[in-house]
């Protein structure tokens, strides 16, 4: 065995060469099935190099393909690059930097929200080679129990409003009678907040039934979730005589005041005429 400086040089050269050719070709691997995540949780988006060479001197880019501009995360020149980060990801992303040396470029995303849903690209670039992986992330959020409010008499029935918030994906709202029959309701109103969660609401006008029970159901079949609230309206609410009586009384009063006014006016005119006669 030679142990001179020449052989050391050859060994070094060999090591350098092999590490260089290794860093030239790699695959980026990760899950092939979509990742389903519950809103509010922290998740890891797995991504790693095969062979498991170091990514410490590579550029690691995480992108959400739904956003045309900006990045979820960038690691380059052994530093985290904050420029051009999509604002909704600020303060919620990190790599496992202690894992980079063995080719683990998984992303940690905290407090998952609706806007995080989408296709993510894990893109790894070495000096003369790059490769990427696409991961689908689905965000699931079950909204609040629907809140039903009574809006009063409307077009010959009773107006009700149902509202539920915090859903993802966008849910469907239906109004049902006590037999589970769909009631025809007003147009559904949907609002998406800045975190990407949906609020739905819908007005309905119900007629008196033998039970006076009505249900508002908010459901999302993709995530197989539903929330519902049943209301029982006392039948007195449907009693139309009360407001009618009130209206009659008001009309009667108005009539009486008008009559008194008329009488007074006639009296005055009569008196004036009398005065004129007297002159
Ligand atoms: C790299 O992978 C090999 C086998 O694929 C394994 O034996 C080795 O422990 C891994 N190295 C690291 C640092 O994870
Ligand atoms: C990468 O690191 C994370 C955090 O330690 C770990 O959960 C994950 O299993 C690692 N992935 C691989 C492929 O080693």
Q: What is the pLDDT of residue 77?
A: 95
Q: In this structure, which ligand is nearest to the CA of 133?
A: 2
70, 61 Cβ separation under 8 angstroms: no
CATH label, 26-140, candidates 3.30.160.150, 2.60.40.10, 3.40.50.720, 2.60.120.40: 2.60.40.10
Is the pLDDT reported for residue 159 higher than 60? yes
Stretch 68-86: mean pLDDT: 94
Instruction: Name, in order, each residue with C-beta under 8 angstroms of 189's C-beta and a sequence gap of 6 or more.
Output: 200, 201, 202
Q: Whose CA is nearest to atom 14 of ligand 1?
A: 102
Give the CATH number of domain 147-235. Answer: 2.60.40.10
175, 204 Cβ separation under 8 angstroms: yes
Is the pLDDT reported for residue 137 higher than 90? yes
Ligand 2 contact, 96 CB (< 6 A): yes
Q: Tell me the whole-structure pTM to 2 decimals.
A: 0.74
- Of the two residues 238 and 190, the one the predictor is more confident about is 190
Q: What is the pLDDT of residue 240?
A: 64
Which atom of ligand 2 lies at the shortest distance from residue 102's CA? 14
113, 195 Cβ separation under 8 angstroms: yes
Outline which parts of the chain fall under CATH 2.60.40.10. Answer: 26-140, 147-235
Kindly write down the DSSP assignment for every residue of 104-135, as one continuous string: B--EEE-S--GGG-EEEEEEEE-SS-EEEEEE
Q: Output the ligand 1 site: residues, CB below 6 A.
A: 52, 102
d(CA 266, CA 87): 78
Q: What is the pLDDT of residue 38?
A: 97
The pLDDT-based confidence of 187 (bands split at 50, 70, 90) is: very high
- Of the two residues 38 and 2, the one the predictor is more confident about is 38
């Amino acid at each position: 065995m030679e142990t001179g400086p020449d052989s050391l040089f050859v060994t070094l050269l060999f090591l350098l060469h092999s590490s260089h050719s290794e860093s030239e070709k790699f695959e980026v691997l990760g899950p092939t099935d979509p990742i389903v995540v519950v809103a509010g949780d922290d998740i890891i988006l797995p991504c790693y190099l095969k062979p498991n060479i170091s990514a410490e001197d590579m550029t690691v880019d995480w992108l959400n393909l739904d956003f045309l501009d900006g990045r979820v995360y960038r690691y380059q020149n052994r530093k985290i690059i904050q420029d051009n980060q999509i604002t909704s990801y600020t303060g919620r992303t990190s790599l496992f930097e202690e894992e980079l040396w063995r080719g683990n470029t998984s992303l940690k995303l905290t407090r998952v929200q609706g806007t995080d849903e989408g296709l993510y690209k894990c893109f790894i670039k070495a000096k003369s080679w790059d490769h990427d992986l696409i991961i689908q992330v689905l965000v699931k959020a079950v909204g609040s129990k629907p809140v039903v409010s009574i809006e009063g008499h409307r077009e010959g029935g009773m107006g009700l409003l149902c509202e539920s918030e915090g859903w993802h994906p966008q849910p469907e709202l239906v109004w049902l009678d006590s037999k589970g029959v769909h009631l025809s309701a007003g147009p559904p109103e949907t609002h998406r907040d800045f975190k990407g969660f949906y609020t739905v609401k819908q007005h309905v006008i119900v007629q008196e039934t033998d039970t006076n029970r009505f249900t508002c159901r908010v459901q999302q079949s993709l995530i197989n979730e539903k929330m519902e609230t049943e209301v029982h309206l006392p039948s007195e609410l449907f009693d139309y005589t009360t407001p009618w009586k009130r209206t009659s009384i008001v009309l009667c009063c108005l009539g009486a005041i008008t009559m008194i006014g008329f009488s007074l006016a006639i009296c005055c005119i009569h008196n004036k005429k009398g005065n004129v006669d007297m002159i």
